[in-house]
Structures are given as structure tokens and as C-alpha cells.
Structure 1
Amino acid sequence: MAVIDELKGVKVTVQVNGQEAVEYDDPDGLENDVNRKHATHRAFNYIESKDDTCFTVKYEVNHMHRWESPKSAFSLYLYVDGKRMDSVVCEASRFNSFDPFYIWSTVVEGSRGSSRDPSYDRLSKFQFSQVTTGKVVISWRCHEYVVRVLTCLSVDDATKERVEGDSKKAKSLGVIEVFVYPLTITGPSYTSGHEHYRDNQNSSFNIAEKALKGRAVSHGTSFTDGGFVSKRKSVCAEYLNDGNPIACFMFKYRSRDALQKELIIPRSPSPEAIDELSEADIRRLAAERLDEINNGRRSGTVKQERKGPIIKREFAEIYDLTEEPAKREWKKIKIDANREAIDLTDD
């Protein structure tokens, strides 16, 4: 979960498929951020996104946050891919129960739009969708058959206007932002028609490669039908801090491969060579090696030199105990009658 030290007690989390996403520090976030809404404090993180996977954004506020007055509040505005998607208000009055363990929490599942029923909003759930580059296939119906691969247009051959439009679009893709605005409640809450932030139609994420300019953008956000949900209550309030947010939580979502390319996470270790072989190849190589060993034993071409043990004495005298002793010449003496005798007393 993302936190800002200067805004104690406030936490923002992105959940992917109902599980809290692992967050990675964005080392260049502060340097590259243009701070378009002039937020006082900012936090920057990366998360991993996966094709066609739903995600939500969760807010939590606990007793650690110190409110200036019982009428204090703040509004959390959610932007995805540069477009406003939702807003919700957290009021200090919710913490008047003096329960030290009370936590205000809400989950934003998608963007709300108007519906024919005045008591309900239409929900469009958030979903990661893959960004593609390359060719766009044109299909048409001919004699009751759909022809799909007869003609294709290269996105790289797009017009200058297309590249410029895609460049502007790509700058905001892959980003989730939550802005926190301080408020003072000035009147009672009420139920009204929900503001329709945007047309929740799925956008095309086929972008000219030139428009990406080397950015490792892998996903954008599309929408799935979330049915009908009850309308939220609105409040009468006055914006503080000159209308500027006191905090911004930014999450850049990327595929695992894109995170590795941007050096946010380490690359997966290369598999061992044997891991890439089939079982049949492993058996064949083992049999070949066994044959080599057996053939070497039968040929006797390998000569191993054996050396005997060497004993080292105190005065550095070395005797090779395996060496054959030199043949000793015995001393002979002559005795009477020209007979010879061997002197065994000689050293």
C-alpha cells in the first residue's frame, strides 16, 4: 500500500483480481513528474499488470490522521490514463465514535455513469488491456464468409496526424492517480444525479510504434459491465489549499516484461541448458557419454601415472620408499687355496 509520511493515516492500494498488488519504487518518479495539479506531497510506485485482468483502487483512513476540526474532510479523486473516473469524500465526523480501531474504507471498482433509474448508477469495471503496435487487420463479409487476413494496414505507416494523436494518448497510458483535496463541510449531504465523467466505451490500444518513443507502455484501461450500483451521497463543501490537492498517489502499471526492461525488477535468470532439452535428448546425451567412458576403458589409451608416498623428515631428507634399492657390492677377501670369502662385517 502507498503511504505519504506527511499525510498520516491515509493509505491507497491497487488490487489486481482481488489481491493487493506488489508495489515497486519508482526511482525517477519525482524527477519526471510534471505535477500537473500542483500537489503538495507525492508518492510514486510501479505495479504489475496482466492482460484482461480486472483491478480496483482501495482507500483507507485510520485514527492516525489528525483532522483540524469536526467539519474537516477530504475528497479523493481517481484518474486513470489521464481521465477522471471517480471521486469520494471522507469526513472527520465518521471518527467521532472514539473507536481507536475504526478504519474508514472504500473500494472503487470502476467508473460510474448515469442510468435511467434515478436511484442507481451504471458501473463500468476497470480492466487492463494490452497495448499493441504493428498491423491492423481489415475484415469484411463476402459471400457469407468473413475475410480477415486479405488486407492490412501498417500502424508504422500512419499519417503524421495519427502519430501525433497516438503520442498524446500514450503519454497518459498506464497511469493510475489519486489526488487528495482538503475540504470543509458547509452543508448536509444529499443524493443527486451522479456526474457522468466520461463515455465508458473501450478505447483502441493499437498505437503507432513511433508514438511510444521507446516508452515501455504495455497496457491501458478498458471497461467491463459492472451492472447497476446505488448512488452515493454528495456533500456541500468548500475546497481549501487554494483548490490544490495536498497529496498525489501515482501508480504506473506495466507488464512483467516491461518492468524488467525499465529495470524496475530484475530479469528472470536464464534457464540451465539442460532445462531446454527434451527427455529424449537428455537420454541420448547420457547414452553417448556412457559409450565414451566405456570405450576409453577398453582401449587402454589412458595411462595414469602413479606416484608413491613421500615422507618428509625433520631435516628435510626425502626418501622415496617405492624406489628399488641399489644393488650392493659385497667386499671379497682371499683365503688360502685361492678361495674367496665375503666379509659380512663391513658397513
Structure 2
Amino acid sequence: MAILPSQPGIKISIVCNGAILQEYEDDDEEPNHAVVSKYIEAVSGAEFGIRWDVSSPWPPYTILFKYYLDQKKASDRYCRLENFKHPSYIYTEEGATSMVNGQGYLHRFAFAALTVDDAGAPVPEQLMKDIKGMGEITVKAFFVAVQQTSSVVDRALDNNIREVGKIPEKALKGRSLSHQTSLRAPQAIAKFSTATCDYIDPARKSFATYTFKYRSRDALKSLLIIPRSPSPVPLEDRDVDTLSAAEMRELLRRQREREADARAIKQERGIKRELNCEQSSTYTDDTDDDEISIVSTKRRRENYLITVNENGVEEIDLT
């Protein structure tokens, strides 16, 4: 859970399939009493929710949480002061909401893989704006006082979140983006109400901001956020007692191939050695037109007639 030292009673996390996603430290983020940033792993097609867990020490006011996907406002939710009396006050925002003719709808949050195109097509201005804010889920917290609650008849989606389609590779400018956020098709829910509020801070500044940078596992490895997978140990270097039946068969197959290759090489060398012993060569003397042929240079010395002349020098008869 992302926690600010200045707000120890507020914990924000991203959940997927009912489980809180593991968070990784963002070493590029400068320490800040009002801002915290974490990395999380995104899985293509997975739905996610934004959960807050508020407990003692209880905040002094009602909190308005605003949720942003890729820097676009997706939804908001009141964490009311009157509920600050249980061990903890937990809520999970599963998507954006809308209302049509008194019927409520939920548009669930989800991750979608980016499709990168290496074509050199021009990059539209709007696409560049979308990419600039991509890769982040942000929660901003404001202290407010709720004034009036009213029923809702019609309420459009308070966002322009949409999948951007193919992205030219040059538009990423080296960023390690792998996913984008999207909204599922609307799902009917119960009718809901809304409320107005006054901000405790006249400047309407958030007192806490929680950012989750989502990336694929491969992207997190490339950023050295999580360790790279170790290289597998070769079968030949592993203890045979740890090998499965399939691995044993593969190891035996490799050994047989190496033995066959070794036999073929040995046989080839033997053939070349025999050819070298039997081959003939021709030497041409450039000083005249006579050609001297040496039929064989491998005849053993002891087969020649050897004599010693009057000066004690050995003479060999090559005839």
C-alpha cells in the first residue's frame, strides 16, 4: 500500500482479482511529504480497482478522493467523516459511473496493451497529448465539507478515456510504456445519488497525491525495477537427480549427437592423413625448363643405401 508519512491513516492500493498488486519503489521520485509514487505490474486485459483504507489516526475532515487514469479524471468518491469510527474504512472504486434516465451504469477499469507501429507516419497532436499522460493511475485527496445530497437522473461519464489504437514508435521517444487504461462496456447498477461540497483549502489544493506507474513485467525488468530472470542452468551442468524424464531424454539425445559428431570428425581426419601420406607433389625449377618430380617424400631413410666417403661424410644413394 502507498502511504505518506504525513498521512499514516490513509493507505491507497491497486487491486486486481481481489488481491492487492505488489508495489515497487520509484527511485526517480524525490521525497515529498504530500506525494508518493510506486510502480506496479500491468497485465493485458485485466480489470483493476482503486482501494483506499482509512484508519486511525483519523483525518479531521471528510475526504474527497479523485481518480485519474493517464491524467484524465475518471471518477471521485467521498470518504465521509461520519464513518470514521470503525477499525478501518475501506472502499474499492471499480470503475467510472454514469446515469441514463435514472438507470446507473458502471464502466469497469481495465489495462489494455499498447500496439506500437514502426511505420514513420505523422503523429497527431491529440495522440501526443494522450501519450504524455499515459502510464499512470493517480489518486488525489482533498479535505471537504459535504453540503447537499441530491438524486441523479442523468450523468454522463466524467472523462474522455479511450484506447488510442496504434502508436508510432517514434512517438514514444524512448519511454518504456507497455499499456494504457481503458473502460469496459457499461454494466447496469443501482441508482445512485451525488453531493456538493466545499473545499477546506480555499485554493482547492490536494493534501495528498498517490501515483501508480503501471508497466508490463518485461518493462519493469528493463527499467531494473524488478530483477531480471536468471539464465537457466544448462542441462549438462545440473545434478542428474534433479532432471525430469523429459530433460533426461533431451540430455541423452545431445550426448548421442556429440558422440556421432566426434566419430565423423575422427573418421574425416583419418582419411585426410592417409591422403597426405600418399599424395604426390611437383616442384618446378625457374632456372631452366626441366621439371623435377618427387614421387614420394615419405620413404623411410633406412631404405636408402648409405655410404661414408673418404672425408667421413655420409652419402645417400637415392636411386
Q: Secondary structure at the match of 2:140?
A: strand
Is the 1:30–1:44 contact (alpha carbons within 8 Å) kept by the matching residues of 2? no
Partner residue, 2:224 = 263
Query: How many pairs does the alignment contain?
Result: 251
Partner residue, 1:323 = none
Shift of 1:285: 3.3
Shift of 1:278: 6.4
Deviation string for 1:14-39 (max 9, x for gaps)?
Answer: 012221100001111338xxxxxxx9
Deviation string for 1:125-173 (max 9, x for gaps)?
Answer: 1111111112xxxxxxxxxxxxxxxxxxxx53212x43x4433221211
- Whether 1:110 and 2:95 are equivalent positions in the alignment is yes
Partner residue, 1:41 = 34
Partner residue, 1:175 = 136
Partner residue, 1:249 = 210
Shift of 1:195: 5.1
Superposition RMSD in Å? 2.7
- For residues 9-158 of structure 1, the aligned pairs below 5 Å read 9-30=9-30, 41-67=34-60, 72-95=61-84, 98-99=85-86, 101=87, 103-116=88-101, 118=102, 120-134=103-117, 156-158=119-121
Is the 1:189–1:233 contact (alpha carbons within 8 Å) kept by the matching residues of 2? yes
Give 2:104's aligned amino acid.
Answer: D
Q: Secondary structure at the match of 2:66?
A: strand
Distance in 1, matches of 2:257 and 2:208, equals 67
Partner residue, 2:301 = none
Deviation string for 1:33-52 (max 9, x for gaps)?
Answer: xxxxxx97001000001111
- For residues 226-245 of structure 1, the aligned pairs below 5 Å read 226-241=186-201, 242-245=203-206
Shift of 1:280: 4.6
Distance change >3 Å, CA 244–CA 208, structure 1 → 2: same
Give 1:260's aligned amino acid.
Answer: K
Is the 2:127–2:164 contact (alpha carbons within 8 Å) kept by the matching residues of 1? no
Is the 2:6–2:33 contact (alpha carbons within 8 Å) kept by the matching residues of 1? no
Distance in 2, matches of 1:192 and 1:282, equals 69
Q: Which TM-score applies when normalising by structure 1?
A: 0.66
Shift of 1:270: 1.0
Deviation string for 1:217-270 (max 9, x for gaps)?
Answer: 000012222511234433332112220100100000000000011111111001
Q: Secondary structure at the match of 2:206?
A: coil
Distance in 2, matches of 1:75 and 1:249, equals 13
Distance in 1, matches of 2:195 and 2:10, equals 20
Distance in 2, matches of 1:61 and 1:245, equals 16
Deviation string for 1:289-329 (max 9, x for gaps)?
Answer: 8999xxxxxxxxxxxxxxxxxxxxxxxxxxxxxxxxxxxxx
Partner residue, 2:185 = 225
Q: Which TM-score applies when normalising by structure 2?
A: 0.71
Distance in 2, matches of 1:106 and 1:56, equals 10
Distance change >3 Å, CA 166–CA 280, structure 1 → 2: farther
Distance in 2, matches of 1:288 and 1:196, equals 65
Distance in 2, matches of 1:219 and 1:94, equals 36
Shift of 1:281: 3.9
Shift of 1:287: 4.6
Shift of 1:288: 6.7
Distance change >3 Å, CA 8–CA 189, structure 1 → 2: farther
Q: Secondary structure at the match of 1:28?
A: coil
Shift of 1:279: 5.5
Q: Secondary structure at the match of 2:235?
A: helix
Shift of 1:184: 2.2
Partner residue, 2:151 = 191
Distance in 2, matches of 1:41 and 1:264, equals 23
